[in-house]
């Protein structure tokens, strides 16, 4: 029954399908490593999707679209940062509010863009390699992979990465040593927003490519879950995102191949499998917590 599925094509399409979640999850990883829990990923993604879509349609340039997506979602995340870091509002409630706000604002902005086709992006062509499906994808796919390497390296080996981890681990200690807790967290939240925006734009400009209300369809939540699943490690985020993307693509292929499983079951399988894996991974509470930023979700107020 798998005879009709070409493995290379399958891998190529899973890479594409995973990219929005990978981008959003990498951004959220950095945000959470600084000790901020931003539950507004879904809202930032969809604002990125609509901002990127409108810009690309109006200017005819997909590259400008991606930039606008990053900027637009970063602006939304700045709102979150001001509320939680300056006015010390509750991060969970504010994050949920951000998602609802993002969904509403995006459908308002997207009115009149339903059914429009965005300009298509040029593919990278490497002579000799472009016949292989895996090497002929949209540039953002490779950028997202570079992002994984960059985040991993920055967090592990550089001083800004060390300070970021220190702020997420103990904001009181970081403050006592003279590091700016608020500044570090603000930057991390903006980075998370920009990444989520890129993920959203990849969805509306490359995968679908079209604007529909609510088109992120829970991918922001999956990205949040993957960060926990990955126990805050960059490489495991990649693994988690590709696992989810893989199941998504596989179920589509199985549907196309006419497997006798109800379509509804197949389409919910990626979510189901992600939940099951999350539960298994998180069952050992001590191990799951071992790499979690100790100050995650706690408001910081310099009292001294």
Which listed residue (61, 64, 154, 172) binds other proteins by CB under 8 A? 172
Shortest separation between residue 298's beta carbon and other proteins, angstroms: 13
Positions 19 through 48 that interact with other proteins (CB under 8 A): none
> How many residues are given for the chain?
304
Q: Is 163 in the site for other proteins (CB under 8 A)?
A: yes
Token code pair at residue 263: 């379509």
DSSP H helices in 34-170: 41-59, 62-81, 91-109, 139-157, 159-169
Which listed residue (90, 111, 125, 291) binds other proteins by CB under 8 A? 291
Q: Is 165 in the site for other proteins (CB under 8 A)?
A: yes
Using CB under 8 A, which of the segments 77-85, 130-138, 174-182, 262-270 binds other proteins? 174-182
Q: Is 88 in the site for other proteins (CB under 8 A)?
A: no
* Nearer to other proteins (CB atom), residue 117 or residue 159: 159
Q: Is 290 in the site for other proteins (CB under 8 A)?
A: yes
Q: Is 178 in the site for other proteins (CB under 8 A)?
A: yes
Shortest separation between residue 261's beta carbon and other proteins, angstroms: 42
Which listed residue (61, 89, 107, 170) binds other proteins by CB under 8 A? 170
Q: Is 159 in the site for other proteins (CB under 8 A)?
A: yes
Using CB under 8 A, which of the segments 63-71, 136-144, 157-165, 181-189 binds other proteins? 157-165
* Nearer to other proteins (CB atom), residue 106 or residue 295: 295
Distance from C-alpha of 209 to C-alpha of 145, rounded to nearest angstrom: 21
* Nearer to other proteins (CB atom), residue 137 or residue 288: 288
- Residue in 31, 34, 32, 29 with CA at minimum distance from that of residue 170: 34
- Binding string to other proteins for residues 267 to 286, with x set by CB under 8 A, is what? -------------------x
Q: Is 299 in the site for other proteins (CB under 8 A)?
A: no
* Nearer to other proteins (CB atom), residue 123 or residue 287: 287
Which listed residue (8, 88, 150, 162) binds other proteins by CB under 8 A? 162
Q: Judge whether 194 and 74 are in contact, CB under 8 Å.
A: yes
Q: Judge whether 199 and 138 are in contact, CB under 8 Å.
A: no
Q: Is 169 in the site for other proteins (CB under 8 A)?
A: yes
Measured between alpha carbons, how far apart are the two ends of the chain, in Å? Answer: 67
CA torsion, points 59, 54, 219, 86, in degrees to nearest 10? 100
Q: Is 149 in the site for other proteins (CB under 8 A)?
A: no
Q: 126: alpha, beta or left, given left = phi > 0 and alpha = psi -120 to 50? A: beta
Three-state DSSP class for 195?
helix
- Residue in 78, 287, 73 with CA at minimum distance from that of residue 197: 73
What is 244-261 written as a DSSP string?
HHHHHHHHHHHHHTT-SS
Shortest separation between residue 191's beta carbon and other proteins, angstroms: 21
Residue 192 burial (10 A CB sphere; 0-12, 13-18, 19+): buried
* Nearer to other proteins (CB atom), residue 2 or residue 153: 153
Q: What is the radius of gyration, based on Cα positions, of the chain?
A: 19
Q: Is 213 in the site for other proteins (CB under 8 A)?
A: no
The alpha carbon dihedral of 16, 229, 197, 104 has a sign of positive
- Residues of the shown chain interacting with other proteins in the complex, contacts defined by CB under 8 A: 157, 159, 162-163, 165-166, 169-170, 172-174, 176-179, 286, 289-291, 293-294, 304
């Amino acid at each position: 029954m798998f005879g009709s599925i070409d493995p290379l094509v399958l891998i190529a399409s899973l890479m594409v399908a995973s990219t929005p979640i990978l981008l959003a999850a990498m951004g959220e990883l950095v945000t959470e490593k600084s000790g901020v829990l931003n539950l507004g990923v879904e809202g930032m993604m969809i604002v990125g999707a609509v901002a990127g879509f409108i810009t690309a349609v109006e200017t005819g340039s997909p590259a400008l679209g991606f930039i606008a997506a990053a900027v637009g979602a970063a602006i939304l995340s700045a709102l979150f940062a001001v509320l939680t870091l300056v006015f010390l509002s509750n991060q969970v409630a504010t994050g949920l509010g951000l998602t609802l706000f993002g969904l509403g604002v995006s459908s308002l902005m997207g009115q009149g863009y339903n059914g429009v086709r965005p300009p298509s992006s040029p593919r990278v062509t490497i002579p000799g390699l472009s016949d292989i499906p895996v090497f002929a994808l949209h540039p953002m796919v490779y950028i997202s992979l570079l992002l994984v390497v960059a985040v991993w390296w920055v967090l592990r080996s550089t001083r800004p990465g060390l300070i970021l981890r220190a702020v997420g681990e103990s904001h009181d200690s970081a403050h006592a040593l003279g590091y700016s807790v608020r500044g570090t967290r603000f930057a991390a939240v903006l980075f998370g927003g920009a990444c989520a925006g890129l993920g959203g734009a990849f969805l509306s400009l490359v995968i679908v490519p079209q604007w529909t209300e609510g088109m992120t369809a829970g991918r922001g939540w999956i990205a949040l879950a993957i960060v926990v699943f990955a126990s805050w490690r960059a490489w495991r985020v990649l693994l988690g995102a590709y696992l989810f993307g893989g199941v998504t693509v596989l179920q589509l292929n199985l549907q196309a191949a006419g497997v006798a499983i109800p379509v509804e079951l197949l389409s919910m399988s990626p979510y189901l499998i992600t939940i099951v894996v999350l539960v298994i991974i998180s069952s050992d509470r001590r191990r799951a917590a071992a790499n979690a930023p100790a100050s995650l979700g706690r408001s910081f107020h310099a009292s001294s």
